[in-house]
Amino acid sequence: MGARRRGRAAGPRADCRRSRARSANGARCARTAVGRLRLGRVPAPRRRRAVPPSARPRRRAGAGADVIARLVLNGRPREVEVRPNQTLLELLRDTLGIFDVKEGCDEGVCGVCTVLLDGRPVSSCLVLAAGLRGRAVVTLRGLERNGGLHPLQEAFVRHGAVQCGFCTPGMLLTTLAFLEREPRPDREAIRAALEGNLCRCTGYTKIVDAVEAYVRGELGHD
Ligand code: FES
Ligand code: FES
C-alpha cells in the first residue's frame, strides 16, 4: 500500500503538494498555474465600476450641533442650518439644490465647483459653509440678464467653447472675475487665468477664442 501511494504522488501534482506543504502563505503551485494558462483558463479580469461623485459616501458629520450659515446667494440673503464640517459646495448642491455648481474632484483640483465669494473665484469644495458670515456668493444663475444668457455665455456658445458643459460654470465665473481685474488681456494671460479650471473636452482653444471675442465686444455688449 505504501509503495502504491508513493507511486501516485509522482509527477506535477505531487510537486505541487510538496510546495504547498512548504509554503507558508499557501501560494498556488506554479506548474499548475502554467498548465491552466496553456489550457486557456485565464482567470476573468476584475471589473471596475466608475462611481459618480453623487454616489460617493459623504463625509461624516462632525461632532457638535448644527450651526447657522449666513450668506447672500445671488443677491438674496439666506440663513441655512449646516453641519459644522459642511462645505459650501455641499450646502449649495445638497441642501439648496443649486446644481449649476458642479462637483468633481472634491479636493480643490479641477475647478468645476468654482463660485464667486465676494467677487473672487474660489473652489466651493474647500470653503466651510459655517464660516461664510454673510459673504456674497455668486453662482452661474447669478449671471442671468433679464432671464437671458450673459454675453460671455453667448460668446461661449457662438465659439463652440461648450461641449459637455461640465466645466463651463466654473470657466465663466473665473473669466468674469479675471476680466474685472484685467479688462484687455492677451491669449497668454487668458490661458494663465484659467489654468485652475480643467476641461476634458474642448482642448481650451475655443474657450480662449470665446473669451477674446467677448473682450473685443463682438456681441455688442459694453
Ligand atoms: S470639485 Fe472643487 S475643485 Fe474639484
Ligand atoms: S466642455 Fe466638457 S469638461 Fe469642458
Residue 156 and residue 206 in one domain: yes
CB 68 within 8 A of CB 86: no
37 domain residue, yes or no: no
Q: How many domains does the chain have?
A: 2
Q: What is the pLDDT of residues 204-222, one digit of tens each?
A: 999 999 999 999 998 766 6
Q: Which residues fall within 8 angstroms of residue 48, CB to CB, at 6 or more apart?
A: none
98 domain residue, yes or no: yes
What's the pLDDT score for residue 180? 97
What's the pLDDT score for residue 79? 97
Residue 131 and residue 84 in one domain: yes
C-alpha–C-alpha distance, residues 74 and 139, integer Å = 7
CA 126 to ligand 1: nearest atom: 2
Residue 157 and residue 96 in one domain: no
What's the pLDDT score for residue 146? 87
C-alpha cell belonging to residue 44:
476573468
What separation in angstroms does the CA of 201 have from each of 18, 71, 162, 166, 167?
Answer: 57, 33, 8, 9, 9
What's the pLDDT score for residue 39? 47
133 domain residue, yes or no: yes
**Residue 78 belongs to what domain range?**
66-141
C-alpha–C-alpha distance, residues 204 and 99, integer Å = 23
Residue 159 and residue 129 in one domain: no
Residues lining ligand 2, Cβ inside 6 A: 162-167, 199-202
Q: What is the pLDDT of residues 20-65, one digit of tens each?
A: 444 444 444 444 444 444 444 555 555 545 555 555 545 544 546 8
Residue 157 and residue 136 in one domain: no
The answer to whether residue 91 scores a pLDDT higher than 90 is: yes
19 domain residue, yes or no: no
Residue 73 and residue 120 in one domain: yes
Residue 136 and residue 70 in one domain: yes
C-alpha cell belonging to residue 36:
491552466
Mean pLDDT of 169-192: 98
193 domain residue, yes or no: yes
The answer to whether residue 182 scores a pLDDT higher than 80 is: yes
Mean pLDDT of 168-194: 98
Find the CATH number of the domain harbouring 181.
1.10.150.120
Residue 70 and residue 118 in one domain: yes
- Average pLDDT value over all residues in the chain: 82
What's the pLDDT score for residue 205? 97
Dihedral angle of Cα 55, 82, 134, 123, to the nearest 10 degrees: -20
3 domain residue, yes or no: no
C-alpha–C-alpha distance, residues 208 and 86, integer Å = 34
Q: Is 185 in the pocket of ligand 1 (CB under 6 A)?
A: no
Q: By alpha-carbon position, which residue is closest to atom 3 of ligand 1?
A: 108
What's the pLDDT score for residue 98? 97
Chain centroid to CA 166: 10
Residue 135 and residue 158 in one domain: no
18 domain residue, yes or no: no
Mean pLDDT of 160-166: 97
46 domain residue, yes or no: no
Q: Is 125 in the pocket of ligand 1 (CB under 6 A)?
A: yes
DSSP 84-152: TT-BHHHIIIIIT--TTS--SSSSSSS-TTEEEETTEEEEGGGSBGGG-TTEEEE-GGGG-BTTB--HH
Q: What is the 3-state secondary structure (H, E, C) of 56-88?
A: CCCCCCCCCCCEEEEEEECCEEEEEEECCCCEH
Find the CATH number of the domain harbouring 121.
3.10.20.30
What's the pLDDT score for residue 36? 46
Q: By alpha-carbon position, which residue is closest to atom 2 of ligand 2?
A: 164
Chain centroid to CA 60: 19
Residue 117 and residue 183 in one domain: no
Q: What is the pLDDT of residues 98-138, one digit of tens each?
A: 999 999 999 999 999 999 999 999 999 999 999 999 999 99
Overall size of the chain counted in residues: 222
